[in-house]
Structure 1
Amino acid sequence: MSERVTGDLVTERLLLHRLTVAEAEELVAGGGGGRRAPGYPTDGDVSAARRFLRACAEDGAGRHPGAFEIRRLDDGCAIGGAEFHGPADEAGTVTIGYGLAPSARGSGYASEALRALLAYARERGFRRVRGDADHDNVASQRVMAAAGMRPAGADERVRYYETAWDGPVGAGC
């Protein structure tokens, strides 16, 4: 994985474009340009953009680790999104969410994107990344396991996963 000056992340097959506040606002408003996979953005992508905008308004965009649009490198087509649910807490923990348009699922893109975002979080000094998936969302559970996250419990609704590292707590981006 490498990082572009803009904050974009590049993997073997993907560009994870870090959304600006203006781009997140366009996504929420139903606008935005560029090529999009059928089914993108999903309701989850719009909810994530709203969460990102709320966090930026409350805490400032500089503290938020980011929201990303997942694009294929070969054709630039937007296929999904991922976002940190806000700045790290006092212990250096962030929560992540991700999703792909139904037309882009089953090709390993989600695991590839999640691995890049875990590396991104680690490089910034975060100590722990958490995620969760509904009990019946076995595909998402497999994505987190494939990206190196470990089971960390469950409740009546979801299974929790996490990855943790030692080191100093980062302040974010």
Structure 2
Amino acid sequence: MEGVEESRRPRSRVPARDMARIAVFAALIAALGLPGAITVGFSGVPITLQTLGVILAGAVLGWRNGTAAVLVFLALTMIGLPLLSGGRTGLTALAGPSAGYLIGWVPGVFVIGLLTARILPRYPIALGLLINALGGIGVIYLFGTLGLLVRTDLGVWAAITSNGPFLPGDTAKVVVAAVVAKGVHRAYPGLIRE
């Protein structure tokens, strides 16, 4: 009788181990917002460490779990938790100039995770850097620039060039994420499954 009851229980589509990893990376993204934010330039978009968490989520967890971690984090901010740097919520961020960057986290982590799965199990550092830069800078900046055009009165060129002050810090995040991901994938091969 006990076996029959067990077979009737709905099974989770996401294994418990994956749920734990998703929760850990959502918490990591939140923790990286604790140091606060620095607003530079004229766009009103802050520099934060949270994009490092987004890049790491894709590079370490892959597209499925990495995207899930970012979506969990964003969902928590949308219900009003002040987890974004500077104590902002998702709703306040979406109303401001950083809306596009925040939205860009989702396709950014997806691209990083999808391409990272293709270079495993070796994880060549040069390809890891390129992938992290494509998703963590290219994709996020594309969405961020579009968001600036919608949320501010900046022209196209001004919106594009407003990304300049962020490049050195974001390049450092790309490097850190690639080094960490290489170490993780060496220690835990098979962490990302196709």
> TM-score, normalising length from structure 1?
0.34
- The structure carrying a bigger helix percent of its residues is 2
- The structure carrying a bigger strand percent of its residues is 1
